[in-house]
Amino acid sequence: MKTAIYYNNNDIRIEERPKPEIKNGEILVKVRASGICGTDLMEWYRIKKAPRVLGHEIAGDIVASGSDKYSIGQRVFVSHHVPCNGCKYCLAGNHTACETLHKGNYDPGGFSEFVRIPEINVENGTYVLPDDISYEEGTMIEPLACVLRAQRIIGVSKGQTVLVMGSGISGLLNIKVAKLKNTKVVATDINDYRLNMAKECGADEVFNANEELDIKADRIIMCTGAMPAFEAAFRHIDKKGIIMLFAIPNRNLPIPVEDFWRNELSIVSSYGAAPVDLEEALELISDGRIDVKDMITHRLKLEDIQKGFKIAGEAKDSLKVVLTA
């Protein structure tokens, strides 16, 4: 089978590998669509484990099954990170702190023709796609679930002012989810295309990130790793406010500790998604409350993954790049 082997952002090679063989309890999925995630582009992070097959936003067809739970022909979305549901973190409802979740993955990765789904992923992370969700829309379940978890952590709710810094795919999803909760949403970016998309996705106000804002926000969601954005966030967070790290800077971040102490500010982070978030994301897409079709801007074949990384990395007029079968 064809696989895309990542060496660095500018060196992704299509190579032949044997099709994985499944064991009892496992399934083999023919990948029909696989999204390029912003974290796939984090070369400083990814290159440490190169060469490897990336890709964790997949949807496809079951073509072989060793499971009593799923059968050949079913259309599925599969989560790459799944909890054990038995450790102290899982039992306390903190599934994304589970060591099993952090270590799990597909074999070999979503940027390939086929993936073997381990038994634990079959049991705790495989979801049958309803007929009204396409494969491409299925690749958006995991990104949306991550957003749902982040906003759940910081308690985004009616009447708040939410500042979304960075209007790429995660920023736009955060805008859509925050608007479902009847908040006022302000969005920033340095890209005019993305600012226009932020407006279309429901942002009440949009600003170029190079402008100085006259705003105080109850919640700030960082969807960019740009250091100036973090510095701006410290200026615009209101008393008792919370800054959510949905993206991280590539170097240490100086924090104005006295301001945080006096104004009772908080910085929190969110990693991945729990099963409850994945289930909610699937439901929101299925019933049309969150439309993700308008965010898929580019569709390419697996063989064109290098072009896809270039498009996603340049971020000129792209949001989600999906590799299709």
Q: Residue 84: what pLDDT? A: 95
- How is domain 2-140+292-324 classified at the CATH fold level? Quinone Oxidoreductase; Chain A, domain 1 (3.90.180)
DSSP secondary structure code for residue 37 in this structure? P
pLDDT in tens, 62-78: 999 999 999 999 999 99
Backbone angles phi, psi at 16, to 5 degrees: -90, 135
Q: pTM of the predicted model, to two decimals?
A: 0.95
* Phi and psi angles of residue 275, each rounded to the nearest 5 degrees, phi first: -50, -40
Give the number of other CB atoms < 10 A from CB of residue 182: 10
The domain 145-269 belongs to what CATH superfamily? Answer: NAD(P)-binding Rossmann-like Domain (3.40.50.720)
- SS3 annotation, 156-177: CCCCCEEEEECCCHHHHHHHHH
Angle at 290 between CA 199 and CA 224, to 5 degrees: 55
Is-contact 278 284, C-beta < 8 A?
no
Q: Which long-range contacts (CB under 8 A, 24 or more apart) does 208-211 make?
A: 209/165
Is there a contact between 250 and 226 (Cβ–Cβ < 8 Å)? Answer: no
Say if residue 250's pLDDT is above 80: no
Share of the chain above pLDDT 70, in %: 100
Cα angle 249, 168, 242; round to 5: 55
Please tell me whether residue 198 adopts helix, strand or coil conformation. helix
- Domain borders along the chain are 2-140+292-324, 145-269
pLDDT tens digits, one per residue of 92-112: 999 999 999 999 889 999 999
pLDDT value of residue 248: 87
Residue type, 246: F
Using alpha carbons, select from 312, 276, 265 the residue that is nearest to residue 170. Answer: 312
pLDDT digits (tens, 9 = 90+) for 158-195: 999 999 999 999 999 999 999 999 999 999 999 999 99
The tokens of 143 are what?
């990104």
